[in-house]
Each structure stands twice: as structure tokens, then as C-alpha cells.
Amino acid sequence: MTLTGPQWYEIFRFLLPLIIFLVALCTGYAARKIVFMRLSAWARNTSTEVDDIIINAVRGPFIIWFMMLGISFSARFAGLPEEFFNIVNKTLVVLGVFSITLVLSNIAAGLIRSYSGKAGPAMPVTSFTQNISRIIIFTIGLLIILRNMGISIAPILATLGVGGLAVALALQDTLSNFFSGFYIIVSRQVKVGDFVRLESGDEGFVTDINWRTTKIRMLQNNVLLIPNEKLTKSVIINYYQPDREIAVTVKVGVHYSSDLGNVERVTCEEAAAVMKEVSGGVPSFNPFVRFDGFGDYAVQMTVILRAVEFTDQYLVKHEFIKRLHKRYDREGIVIPYPVTALNISQEKRAR
């Protein structure tokens, strides 16, 4: 069967929108590969992370924009009725605004993460801060979409204002945790990465502060979830403020017949060696001894050492006790067993 010229024209006219769309899609893939390969090579030579954040945020929606371009040109050559053409245009506008909103939210979250990393403990990254930025940007994007669709946003804002009171009353606990989480982050009294102990005795590292709970990873590698409101009302010991270094105290008892001057010298020598040789000790710190009481069976003293942070104290104590026990044995210093002695001659003199 031989097709005539008009038939070929009709077939070409039917396939033209599809061809235009495929050309736009292929052009988008090729352009994304070439453009982002060069942009990535350029970004690797810069010292700032801002360009990397923007490139990663735009990489995904980039192909969507070419698809939108292809759909727009295809609709023009498809000869669609005016009302369908308007629907396609409005849909593309909504999709464009949504994609730009997505890009901006990813850039904002990336910048927050980057700035927080440079600021260190002063501005920690939490899912709460990143989600707040996303919510704000998506809300603005939604209002722009509604406005472009011809929907007046003034009544919506008024309705939200009235309905917000009812929602606030219904969600008192949720909102209380939300604002408590915001207060915890702003006050910076407890930050992600801090080691804290609660009045309940639970302790661990703060790993995240979200809109409802604060996550604490305990030393047993379990996760403790605390409602933000309860955390703000609790008595908390933060072992990372004002700084991470912590005093490590070890109680020791020696026999009453010991030369206390020699005991102090030997103990300080071993403590100083631990500070310099054991990981977690503070080499610049000079340990010292304080005799603090006459016990039932020993002269009691406290040895004060220092660790880089809270969890380092366990290894510091471990090594110090081992070394001190060995040194005392070599020096002839006796650590007495807990016994009760009856002095007969003393009792006779008392009579």
C-alpha cells in the first residue's frame, strides 16, 4: 500500500509532538552529563562547599526542566484545543514551581549542614533545624502555586489563623514538644554530640533533636527517646560544658604505718605517667593527691587526674589502678584489707 503525500503529512503531524518531546528529553540528558561534569570539575578546585551544594540540588530537577520544555513545545505543535492547552500550561507552571521549591529546600538544608559543620558545637546540625527550613520554603512554594492557579490565598490565610487556635488546643502536647525543641536548640545548653546525664540516672550522647523528641545514645548502645518538654524540665548534667575535659578522681587507702610523703610522691609519679602515656589522658595536667581522712583500717586519700572527655575516664582509671597496684607492691606500700582490729593494750590503759 502506497501512502499519498497528504497521508504522509498527517502521519508526520501526528508524530511531530512525540519527536519534539524525545529530542528535548535526549538533549536534557546530554546537556546534564556535559554541564554537570564540567561544573563538578570546577567545584572540586574551589574551597567553598556552596557550589557543591547547589550543583547537587540542581542535578535531579535539571532533566525535569527539559521534559517540561519538551511537553510545552509538543503541546504547541499538537493542535490541542485552547482549554486543554491552558491546562497543560498551568500544570507545567505548578510542576516548575514545585521543582524550584525542591531545589531551594535542598540548598537551604545543605547550607545549614555546611555552616553547622564549620561552626562546630556552637551551631549543631539537627533534623529539627533542617526540617524547619524545608517547611518554610515548601509553604511559600505552595502559596505561589495556589496563586498561579487562580486561588485567592487571603481567605486561606484567614482560615489558617482561625483554625490555628483550634489546632493549638487539640495539639497542646505536640506543640509544647515542638517549641521546647526549638528552645533547646536556640539556648545551646544541650547540643548534638554532648554527653549528658539526666536526673533519672540515664546518660549518653545526644545524637539528634527533632520536632518531638531528643535522642540520646546510651553507652550500652541503646537509644533513649525523651520528649523535648520533659527534657527542658529535667535537671541535666552536661559533661561537655563549659569544656569537654573532666576531672577523674580515684579513692585510695594505705596502711597507717606508711610514709605518707613517700606515698604521695610515688602516687603522683604513676599518675603523671598515665596522663602522658594513656590515650584519653591530658599530658599537660599535673596530677595531685589529697589526704582526706582516717578510715577504719587505712589512711584515705583522693588522687585527682584529668581526662579529655567523659568516656575517657574509664581507661584512665583502669590503667592508673593497674600501675599503682604494681608500683605499691614494688615500693612495699601496703593497701590494707578492710578489717576491724582490737587493740588489747589500748583497752587495758583505758581501764
- The model's confidence at residue 2, banded by pLDDT at 50, 70 and 90, is low
Maximum mean pLDDT: which of 72-76, 207-211, 275-279: 275-279
Burial of 334 (0-12, 13-18, 19+ CB in 10 A): middle
Query: What does the pLDDT read at residue 124?
Result: 52
For the stretch 61-106, pLDDT in tens is 777 777 777 777 676 666 666 666 677 777 777 777 777 777 777 7
**CB neighbours of 217 closer than 8 A, spacing ≥ 6?**
204, 205, 207, 223, 224
Query: What does the pLDDT read at residue 332?
Result: 92
Is the model's pLDDT at 147 over the cut of 80? no
Query: What does the pLDDT read at residue 264?
Result: 94
- Between 267 and 133, the more confident residue is 267
Kindly state the percentage of the chain with pLDDT values over 90.
Answer: 28
- Between 212 and 289, the more confident residue is 289
| Nearest alpha carbon to residue 288 among 268, 313, 259, 260 | 268
Maximum mean pLDDT: which of 85-89, 173-177, 278-282: 278-282
Average pLDDT over residues 157-168: 54
pTM greater than 0.85: no
- The model's confidence at residue 316, banded by pLDDT at 50, 70 and 90, is very high
The CA-CA-CA angle for residues 332, 337, 338, to 5°, reads 145
Query: What does the pLDDT read at residue 131?
Result: 67
Query: What does the pLDDT read at residue 121?
Result: 47
Task: Judge whether 311 and 204 are in contact, CB under 8 Å.
Answer: no
Q: What's the gap between Cα 331 and its chain centre?
A: 50
Complete DSSP assignment for 13-33: HHHHHHHHHHHHHHHHHHHHH
d(CA 51, CA 2): 58
Query: What does the pLDDT read at residue 163?
Result: 54
Radius of gyration of the chain (CA): 35
- Long-range contacts, 33-39 (Cβ 8 Å, 24+): 35/62, 36/62
